[in-house]
Amino acid sequence: MTEPITDFTTVVPFWKPRVTPVELDKASEEQLEAMKVTPSDTGVGAYVLVLAHDPQTLKERTPLFNGIMYSHGGLSRTETELGAVAASLVNRCIYCAAVHSNRYNQLAKDETVIEGIFGAGEAADLDPRQKAIFNFATKLSECPSEAGEADVRQLMDAGLGMDEIFDLVLTASLFGWANRLMHVLGDPIPRES
Amino acid sequence: MDDIFRSIVVEAAGIAADHPLAAVIAGRSDVMQLTQASHDAALKPEPPGGLSHAERAALACRMARLSDEEMLARHFEAMIPESGGWQAIADPAFDGTDDERTRAILRHTDLVTVDPKRAAEADIAALKSAGILEPDIVRLSELIAFVGYQVRVVKGLRLMAEAA
């Protein structure tokens, strides 16, 4: 059996569920609607098919996820990905960290930030704005949260507006949700297997 | 839920419609509406499957307490029915005593709430051995994960309000 990946990577792994996914041809109308698929759709991933066991929540979460990650205005796409990476590191979700660090690198066209974070965490050599974002998202992701007013001030001092800070709060919080599904309900497996 | 200033997260953060942050929050009204809808889907779904509304409210209250989020803990506490003995579950010191199913659910809820990085395959196997069906494992996971989201949105909003 292939061992799960335990080190952070920017190469997106396969996700192997620990719970039996819903079988697409046996899915109920409600499950199909929540997955936003037609019965002839063959590209539905294991993750969505696992979450289809709870169609009520899945139906709301998908537009919520898109609304936070891909909305216009507020925090840039690149910085949103940095917040997602910070949360995924705290929660050690290898899969989410890979997807979002990979996307960060593509958007930023710079791999040094993620390399620094994977290597040194909060001690990484980041500019003040990146540092403030990474610091706040990391602290908010702890349980209980360790973020304080001073961390919000650090964001403001680094030039973030309240609309950007709100987007960062939403992103880090959203990965408090996503990591608790992805990391708990399945294993990241190397792609070549 | 039409008025986002009456949604649970905005009220728990103590932000009213005349607050300086009101325009910022209104700028993400779609997300706030979906946050409220997700709360209802995680706490009061129909049908509820193997996790009753009472058990979900009690677990959510427990998670809010573990997360030091007193305002949300109060909100969930008010959703727990007075009869049925569900209040015990909301107490983080309660471990389920001799009920195998409850013990397994509480152990898993506490682990994934407080220290999700430590969750492993054996933890899902433990839920299965306690007789919890796979769809209910996913329902429980969504409930835990949703509360993990909600407590942080409230905390973040409250910090923003302090700094604004």
In which band, very low, low, confident or very high, does the pLDDT at A191 lie, cut at 50, 70 and 90?
confident
**In chain A, how many domains are there?**
2
Q: What is the mean pLDDT of residues B46-62?
A: 98
Domain range list for chain B? 4-163
**Packing angle of the helix pair B121-129, A162-185 (nearest 10 deg):** 60
Mutate to test the interface with B, among A5, A31, A139, A145 (most CBs of B within 10 A): A145
**φ, ψ (nearest 5 deg) of residue A186:** -165, 175
In this structure, the answer to whether residues A87 and A59 fall within a common structural domain is no
In which band, very low, low, confident or very high, does the pLDDT at B164 lie, cut at 50, 70 and 90?
confident
Is the pLDDT reported for residue B72 higher than 70?
Answer: yes
pLDDT digits (tens, 9 = 90+) for A10-31: 999 999 999 999 999 999 999 9
CA separation (Å) from B12 to A35, A67, A88, B75, B141? 31, 22, 26, 8, 23
A105 occurs within a structural domain: yes
CA separation (Å) from B91 to A55, A107, B96, B102, B144? 29, 45, 10, 13, 16
Q: What is the mean pLDDT of residues B115-131?
A: 97
In this structure, the answer to whether residues A36 and A118 fall within a common structural domain is no
CA–CA separation, A48 and A166 (whole Å): 28
SS3 A39: coil
Per-residue model confidence (pLDDT) at position A41: 62
Global pTM exceeds 0.90: yes
A130 occurs within a structural domain: yes
In this structure, the answer to whether residues A33 and A101 fall within a common structural domain is no
Question: Percentage of chain B with pLDDT > 70?
Answer: 99
A193 occurs within a structural domain: no
pLDDT digits (tens, 9 = 90+) for A35-89: 987 656 666 799 999 999 999 999 999 999 999 999 889 999 999 999 999 999 9
Q: What is the mean pLDDT of residues B26-34?
A: 97
A125 occurs within a structural domain: yes
The structure tokens 């660090």 sit at A101
In this structure, the answer to whether residues A123 and A105 fall within a common structural domain is yes
Q: Which residue of A has its CA nearest to B162?
A: A149
pLDDT digits (tens, 9 = 90+) for A3-12: 999 999 999 9
In which band, very low, low, confident or very high, does the pLDDT at B70 lie, cut at 50, 70 and 90?
very high
Is A71–B28 a contact, with Cβ atoms under 8 angstroms apart?
A: yes
Amino acid at B162: E
For A89, the domain range is: 77-184
Name chain A contacts of B139, Cβ cutoff 8 Å. Answer: 53-54, 57
Q: Report, in angstroms and rounded to the nearest whole number, the Rg of chain A calculated over CA atoms.
A: 17
Name chain B contacts of A71, Cβ cutoff 8 Å. Answer: 28, 30-31
- Please give the CATH number for the structural domain made up of B4-163: 1.20.1290.10
CA separation (Å) from A144 to A139, B63, B65? 9, 10, 9
